Structure 1
Amino acid sequence: MAHTYLPLEQYKRKWIFNHKDLPVSEADKALIKPLDQKSSMEVWNKWISNRSSRSEQFAKGDWAAKGDAWSETDHWQSAWDSEDSSMPEILQLHFDWLEEAPVYFCYEKYQVIETTWGVFARNWKCFLFFDDGPLLISPKKKQAAIFHQSGQYQVGSRG
């Protein structure tokens, strides 16, 4: 599936990667690739849900709505608020992905960013300026995470 990307400068949420307190290197910015609406929809329909357009709408039949999809819950907010740039430990341990593994950070059906695991891991705080239920997945792996506005996240596996 060939994707169409928006230049980061044209992405409506580009400010999250240009925040003065959380600088993103130019090398990493080059690997942060927002998908256009059609490509975002294709990724969402294939890997997340072909029924729901946002995580709060997940329903029966969506893998993310299954009780056994999520194995552990932890807090991301305190790590996000700290001076330390490290991801929460449970998040780090759950994903044994290679630095260059492709990942999708899926805000909702029409808002998906493609990047690599390494770029996400270094800049995870920037991605979470919007925390209304985004999911982190990789097309080649089963591990997944969902981030909630409550400051919690869950890790698990896609069905």
Structure 2
Amino acid sequence: MGRKTFIRTPATGRKRQHKERRLRPAYVAALLVISLACFSTGAAQHALSPPQTVHEGVVTRVVDGDTLYIKGLETRIRLWGLDAPERGKKGGYRATRMLREIAHGRHLSCREVDIDRYGRIVAQCFRPDGRDAAALMIESGAAKEYLRYSGGYYSRTAMAGGD
């Protein structure tokens, strides 16, 4: 298995036999095969994951500057990557009014990103003309980009000249 060597123990100073242990090639090969199987299974599961859910419909109600309802969907939708002032706070009324102008009564196509702690669907929502509702809110100055979640997506998009 390995060659024998002698070492002194720190406590007693006596010599004792020590065997160097080497991994046998068969063990190394088995570990490699198992590792590859685990990684390839994970990649396959990721590749087979279902596509994002898309919620489409006409906006029936705007709750505040970043939350709305779509006809036929009971759950509220929170616009992804958007930080709008809350109702009753400075700028809250303006943000709510702006989202009404942008979305109320219009058809939106919302790609679900997450479900937040309040049970709302967090989604990136687009009008039929392809404009992103959150980007329009940011451009208007009624809301800011929520960098914690967007990772700077809207800033990069604006610098590139797109929506």
TM bin (shorter chain): under 0.3
Indicate the structure with greater strand content: 2
- TM-score, length basis structure 1: 0.27
**Bigger CA radius of gyration:** 2
- TM-score, length basis structure 2: 0.27
